[in-house]
Structure 1
Amino acid sequence: MVAVSDPSRPPRLSGVRRVSGRVSGASARGARRVARGTAVAGRYTARQARRAANAEGAGESGLSRLIGLHAINAAGDAAVAISLAGTLFFQVPTGEARGQVALFLGLTMLPFAIVAPLIGPILDRFAHGRRWAIGTTMAVRAFLSWVLAGAVVTDSRWLFPAALGVLVASKAYAVTRAAAVPRLRPESLTLVKANARISLAGVIGAAVSAPLAGLASLVGPEWSLRYAFALFVVATVLAIRLPARVDSTLGEGEMLILPGGDDSEPPAPGRRGRPRMRIPGTVAFALKANCGPRFLSGFLTMFMAFLLREAPIEGWRPEVLLGLVIGAAGLGNTLGVALASLLRSVNPAITVVVALIADAVVALVAAVFYGLVPLVLLGLTAGLTQSLAKLSLDSTIQRDVRERVQTSAFARSDTALQLAWVIGGFVGIAMPLRPGLGLGVAVGVLGAWAVFVLVTGRATLQRALPAEA
């Protein structure tokens, strides 16, 4: 007898198809579970981040808004850096890249040297000055990120000007943000802790944004730049919506970058009665010491970008090497923020000197024993010392500068540090791409600067030593 199939009944699945269906179903269920778990973890992280940002009165004072703004700022900077890592440094011929970057980096010194001293008077005369100044740095980066998105595809001549314009705007943001922090700090927070919380938010923002920018760059470098454009647009709106107290200058004065005590001077003509004050010797000492780590940061950023491309360590791709050094610097910066609370009992004057000497010593080790481990150690040390030195400077300003001129002190000190970074970057570009020579010059500069700081600040350091005993 021959069995006749019933066409009205659906055919039975074979064993293979049944197993395949079970596997597909299990994979779909697993993916849904992972998605649900990721969403839950994301919501939990967001809740914890909001809770931390609003803690200790930061929510009521408006500091939490600045913390959120800084996280988005760092996220945008990370997206731009990831996109340009494979285009600005690794696709353009080395000689052409170094020449153009040196030219435009040299031009960036002009606004810092000339425009920065004019920022204070401009903000005094116009309402909503600080909020609009911060918003302008974000809007400029949004526009330039969009320009860069087209330039990296068409190999436009605007690639280098736009990239360095983003860099300048990022540094200008740091100056304007420093002037806003004292106005939003709640009474329950010290200025060092407030700055550490803002810095930590930046680290988290960059860490969250980097994988997203990396995924976007797999489609094309222009997509990570468009992602950065969207972030900076959001940041522009958030900057303008900062609390109105950011713009208040009530009770503030002006700080002169002249050592010689904290004695006040009469108001200058045309300044509407705002008092003026010389910078205290302790602040001048901490600021000079901070210029060393900041110089090294700028030097390593430019010198390593070209050195690792032209003479990579055997067995390692240039992109991977640069990522390891930058990652180590980021880790060091995070460790510095975390250690800030543990170093409260240490005099800031000693901390900044130790940071400067540590940079010189580790740079010497990297120059003599050039290799992957010394370079990663150098990046870690540079990030750690820059973070600790800056927090120590903040602490010194908070302790020794009268409250009514702290805003001016922070704005001017940050301007000086940005100049040190630019000078370091310029020296890094100008150096021949030989590890021992380039790093040796950095060691020489740091060593000479350390001697200068110790000799000129001997009295300040001597007064600091008994305080630690």
Structure 2
Amino acid sequence: MGRGVADAGRATARAGRATVRAGKATAGGTARAGKATARGAQKVGQATRRLTYANGADRTGLGRLIELTAGHSGGDALVTVALASTVFFGVPVGEARGPVALYLVITMLPFALLAPFVGPILDRFRSGRRYVMAGTLFGRGLLCFAMAAAVGPGDLPTLFVGALGVLVLSKAYNVSRAAIMPNVLPADITLVSANARVALFSLISAGVMVPVAAGLTAWLGSAAVLRTAMVAFLLLGVLAVRLPRHVDSPELEEEEAGGRPLRWRTLLNVGPAVAEAVWANVAIRLFSGFLLFFLLFLVQDKGVPWLAVRDPFFDIPKTIALLAAAAGLGGLVGAMVANWTRNHSPQLITLLTLAVTGAITIVAAVFFGLWTAVAVSLVTAFAQELGKLALDAIVQREIGEEVRSSTFGVVEAVLQLAWVFGGLVGLVLSLAESSAAGLITLAVALTGAFGWLIVRRRQRIRAARLGAEGQSQDLVVRDPDEQDTDVRDQGAWGQGADRRDQRVDTIDSTKPLTNPHG
């Protein structure tokens, strides 16, 4: 018996030593895997930094602005996923329409009320735009803290108000960021390319954070994700303050002498080129909001043909994931194409995006199915991203810096209102559970908007050219003394013929939108 006990003891000792060796091997493997992951992350970070700082973006501050905006987009993605699990999918479909409609209405009203004030106020603080951007990030961090506290008790009013505040501050950040873009533009990068680079990294950041946020939400809950977003926004606010000082614009002399009133901007006084681009983007944004909520509730109600036949391969979650992936891919492709089209006219780009959206909508209405739904989601996101980048470049080129934030404020508000209105229309039409009715209605609206813009564009070009030709003939008939007197009498308008030529060039400009100070 003693020998058996001794053998058992030796076996136990050997097993213990084997366990220790296995633990050491596991620890070593874990450490090596951790080091490999760290090295991979470092390489990815270095490659990303090379891309963001390319073409002189490191010297002008564009690279830092790209990184800051990418972080801003990732934080917004965290908030969106956290709120989606509490508002949109946390209740049955029939009960979800009410909260969603309430959210859309609450979203619409403040933009209608605040739009006239946000832009002019930002114009008043051109010399402190870094601090304005930081303030929007700090504010979102505090709102995330409040929403995290409201998740547990299910305080929907607090969640709605917090989500609204995050949305408004996010738009204010975008307005400030777009307004300062010419200040950080390198000499060899066009405005469309710079906007596309910012959008591309923002989309990538959001695309990475969405699955991360979904995993954290499933693991830790929505409150934890909102607290994570709070920390991210606070850190980003510190980075915003550390942007280069030339991001801020010096005040004009007349402002320093006596101050100035708020300068209001509306679509009636932004100029024909900007107005045309805005209306094209309004049509696309309206359809984008419609498509999101129309397809979302149509799928959840099983009002689509591939779910009505109970196809085991495509259930509701898979269909929603596929449509979301198509929309994300479309936005990414739109940003990439915007970078490729840097030397082409942004006015033509906005009209082409509207035409493409209308065409794919007609196809989807006639041949509606899973893959046409995927195609229309992809093309709509592509057109929305490309058209918005072209619109930003037009505003940055056409509008003076003293009212640029005001103009961007009006543009962002109008586009947001269009998206909300489209979402409400999609919400209502989804009750009919008929895909054809909704898509045909929007296809007719998009086609009509495109035709109206084309007619107005042709009339404007014809009038501008006739005016320029008439002025030129008038100068030829008159003697030199009369010409000089006429030019002097034009006062603040300046050289009439030259200005008219410039307006014609603005309508059909195909020159690259480069930094004039580069």
Out of 257, 279, 301, which is 1:310 matched to? 301
Q: Which residue of structure 2 aligns with residue 293 of structure 1? A: 284
C-alpha contact (below 8 Å) 1:185/1:194 kept by paired residues = yes
TM-score, normalised with respect to structure 1? 0.83
Give, in angstroms, the shift of residue 18 of structure 1: 9.0
- 2:154 paired residue number: 155
Q: Distance in 2 between matches of 1:176 and 1:422?
A: 22
Report % sequence identity: 39
Cα offset for 1:253? 12
User: 2:470 matched to which residue of 1?
Assistant: none
Q: Is the 8 A contact 1:253 1:275 kept in 2?
A: no
CA-to-aligned-CA distance 1:358-378 (integer Å, 9 cap, x gap):
212222333333332122211
How far is the alpha carbon of 1:70 from its aligned partner?
A: 0.9
Superposition pairs of residues 303-452 of structure 1, within 5 angstroms = 303-311=294-302, 313=307, 314=310, 315=312, 316-401=314-399, 408-433=406-431, 434=433, 435-452=435-452
* Number of residue pairs matched by the alignment: 453
Q: Which residue of 2 aligns with 1:114?
A: 113
Question: What residue identity is the alignment partner of 1:336?
Answer: G
Contact 2:119 2:408 in 1 (8 A): no
Counterpart code for 2:187: E
- Asked if structure 1 preserves the Cα contact closer than 8 Å seen for 2:361 and 2:376, the reply is yes
Q: 1:48 to 1:200 in 2, by over 3 A?
A: same
Cα deviation 1:13-49 (Å, max 9, x = unaligned): 6999999888776655544433222211100111122
**2:388 alignment partner, SS class:** helix
Displacement after TM superposition at 1:129 (Å): 4.5
Change (3 A) 1:93 1:9: closer
Alignment partner of 1:365: what SS? helix
What is the CA distance between 1:75 and its match in structure 2? 1.0
Contact 2:119 2:405 in 1 (8 A): no
Contact 1:359 1:385 in 2 (8 A): yes
**C-alpha distance in 1 between matches for 2:182 and 2:320:** 36
Partner residue of 1:266?
Answer: none
Residue 65 (structure 1) aligns with: 64
1:240 alignment partner AA: V
| Partner secondary structure for residue 331 of structure 2 | helix
Out of 268, 271, 294, the position equivalent to 2:260 is 271
Displacement after TM superposition at 1:216 (Å): 1.1
TM-score normalised by structure 2 residue count: 0.76
More helix by share: 2
Corresponding residue of 2:226: 225
Tell me: CA distance 1:59–1:467, structure 2 relative to 1, closer, same or farther (3 Å): closer
CA RMSD in angstroms, aligned pairs only? 3.7
1:176–1:326 distance in 2 versus 1, CA, 3 Å: farther
Residues 380-425 of structure 1, C-alpha deviations (whole Å, 9 max, x = no match)? 1011111221222234345555666655544443333233223222
Cα distance in structure 2, aligned partners of 1:233 and 1:466? 42
Q: 1:230 to 1:25 in 2, by over 3 A?
A: same
- Which residue does the alignment assign to 2:51? 52
Describe the shift of the 1:318–1:436 C-alpha distance in structure 2 as closer, same or farther (beyond 3 A): same
Tell me the CA shift for residue 319 of structure 1.
Answer: 3.5
Mapped partners of 1:183, 1:466: distance in 2: 22
Aligned 8 A contact 1:213 1:227 in 2: no
Give me the whole-angstrom Cα distance separating, in 1, the residues matched to 2:430 and 2:165: 25
Report which of the two structures shows the higher radius of gyration computed on alpha carbons: 2
Distance 1:162 1:320 in 2: 30
Letter of the 1:429 partner, please give it.
L
2:132 is the counterpart of 1:143: no
| SS of corresponding position for 2:363 | helix
Instruction: Give yes or no for contact 1:252–1:274 (8 Å, CA) kept in 2.
Output: no
C-alpha distance in 2 between matches for 1:148 and 1:403: 36
Separation in structure 2 between the aligned mates of residue 444 and residue 147 of structure 1, nearest angstrom: 44
